[in-house]
Amino acid sequence: MNKKRLKLEEHREIIKKRISSAIELSKNINNQTILSHTFEIDMVDILPILTHPADRHSIRIYLEKPSEGFSMAGMGSIISIDFKGNIVNFNKKVADIKNRIVYEKDKKYPTPSFLGGYAFSPELEADITWKNFPRGRFILPECLATQNSNGTWLTISTIVNKSDSLSKVLNRFLKLCITYENRMPVTLPPISSLPVDKFKDVPNKQTYFKTINQILERLKPGNIEKVVLSRSHHVKIAQSFSVVSGIQILRSAYPKCMSFFFSFPKEGIFFGSTPERLVRLKNKSIETVALAGTISRGKNMEEDRLLAEKLRKSNKEREEHRFVLEQIVRNLEPLTEELNFNEYPGILKLKNVQHLKTTIFGKLKQNQHILNIVKNLHPTPAVAGSPTSDALRIIQKLEAHDRGWYCGPLGWTDIDGDGEFFVGLRSALVSEHKAHVFAGGGIVAESVAEHEWDETELKIQPIITALSGGQI
């Protein structure tokens, strides 16, 4: 059985029933409704769906964590919600949409979902780098491909008006299905080597060192203990750069990370591969992670083991990790019945770095929309510092650039409020044949400016490699 084809004739009757329900609902509420229908498909990899030439000038969003067999690909937009941090307004809009959408309610099928994210500080005005990119945006895609351990699905949605006839909506919907059906290639284009030319660092190395020293002067035990300082590395890239090729490189090198891109035509592309989950929520069960403390990988197994041991024993790195873990626990305790985590952190080994990692599991006291949990957690000390409010004031005063979506919450939420968000690390904004690559590190009392610069260089390099079509 070839499930790549959508078998429209087999689905026709249920689609017609769903259209009739959507038209009737539209009349009853005197408003537009949304028809959403899901097809099971047989595709090993959904990334190729985003390579069709017709989609290059439309919204494209991609999320993938290979180690968990999870990926989502969104094309086009039925509904777009701009977001600048007001959770209450967002929840109201999603609740309204939930009341206007007709979809498959069988739990084995994916629920219609919003994909998106927002800036590290969405309330602040964007600088010149981020001037064209939204401060926050969530998209209900016209076509959403979802892959997890249970299978692969294609969900197609369309707007229905109260004046529409069944035949009109049916014809429009079937044409839409055929359009996306024809955009399901099974192979990815080859990856080409491309030039990448550095033209500036913001701030430059000398200024970065000076800023670190200014932060060190402000650190006081029991008061301000950690500040995360970031920098951006600006490069010129080839006009032929393909973000899909960049994702191929990153997902292959970092299967334990969430690789992602958000492509908004004429606004830019934000892409990367982050190791840090902010929160995953399903049926009141939550999972998050404390990720802080970094060291390089070794050139061989023995050197790698010794470096991991050095990381475990480092007072500086353990303290940095402790700040993150303790604040996450403090922020979650009022919302949860229980929280569980190991006493000692493990080691997350990535291609070129390794981190101290503690996974935290919990159960909510009552149902919460995932963005409410995100609000409680963001920003964590891993991307801001400790105490967070004091660290943020120092960041806003001393950092020479707007972080934009770098370090911001990115992910997806279904219309029931479940979903997953991660932190936008190891990432770059691509715009007008330029790429702005971001990286940062936690400054604590034992920090050395030269070492902090070297750490950010390690974090920048994978993205530079992805931009150039090289191998990590």
Share of the chain above pLDDT 70, in %: 98
Predicted local confidence at residue 105, as pLDDT = 83
Reported as a single tens digit per residue, the pLDDT across 344-370 is: 999 999 988 999 999 999 999 998 899
Instruction: Give 335 or 57, the one with higher predicted confidence.
Output: 335
* pLDDT at position 218: 93
* Tens-digit pLDDT profile for residues 8-51: 889 999 999 999 999 999 999 999 999 999 999 988 899 999 99
pLDDT at 236: 96
Q: Residue 161: is it exposed, middle or buried by C-beta count within 10 angstroms (0-12/13-18/19+)?
A: middle
Structure tokens at 190: 């080859």
Contact 360, 339 (CB under 8 A): yes
In order, the DSSP letters of 351-385 are SSEEEEEEEEEEEESS---HHHHHHHHSSPTTTSE
How far from 194 is each of 105, 118, 191, 319, CA to CA, in Å?
46, 30, 9, 41
| Per-residue confidence band for 394, with pLDDT thresholds at 50, 70 and 90 | very high
CA dihedral 17, 23, 28, 30 (to 10 degrees): 160
pLDDT 10s digits, 194-210? 999 988 999 999 999 99
pLDDT for position 352: 86
pLDDT digits (tens, 9 = 90+) for 222-254: 789 999 999 999 999 998 999 999 999 999 999
**pLDDT at 56 > cutoff 80:** no
**Pick from 87-91, 114-118, 172-176, 203-207: least confident:** 87-91
Radius of gyration for the alpha carbons in the chain, expressed in angstroms and rounded: 23
Q: How far is CA 390 from CA 189, 225, 365, 380, 406, in A?
A: 48, 10, 30, 13, 20
184 close to 202: Cβ distance less than 8 angstroms: no
Query: What is the predicted pLDDT for the residue at 4?
Result: 58
68-95 pLDDT, tens digit each: 999 999 999 999 999 887 888 888 898 8
Mean pLDDT of 294-305: 93
How many Cβ atoms are within 10 Å of 125's Cβ, its own excluded? 9
Cα angle 426, 60, 137; round to 5? 75
- What gap in Å lies between CA 396 and CA 49, rounded to an integer? 40
Q: What is the mean pLDDT of residues 153-168?
A: 95
Q: What is the CATH number of domain 196-239+281-405+431-468?
A: 3.60.120.10
Residue 1 has pLDDT above 70, yes or no: no
The answer, yes or no, to whether residue 431 has pLDDT greater than 70, is: yes
Residue 453: pLDDT above 50? yes
Give the pLDDT mean for 272-297: 94
Which residue reads 């610069």 in tokens?
453
Question: Within 13 Å, how many C-alpha atoms sit on residue 182's CB side?
Answer: 9
pLDDT at 6: 82
Query: pLDDT value at position 220?
Result: 84
Question: Is residue 408 predicted with pLDDT exceeding 50?
Answer: yes
pLDDT at 465 over 70: yes
Measured over the CA atoms of residue 114, residue 86, residue 258 and residue 403, the dihedral's sign is positive
3-state DSSP assignment of residue 129: helix
Does pLDDT of 104 surpass 80? yes
Sorted by where each begins, the domain ranges of the chain are 196-239+281-405+431-468
Residue 111 token pair: 């629920």
**Which residues are within 8 A (CB) of 120 and not within 5 positions of it... i.e. 6 or more apart?**
379, 383, 403, 404, 405, 406, 407, 408, 424
Provide the mean pLDDT of the chain: 92
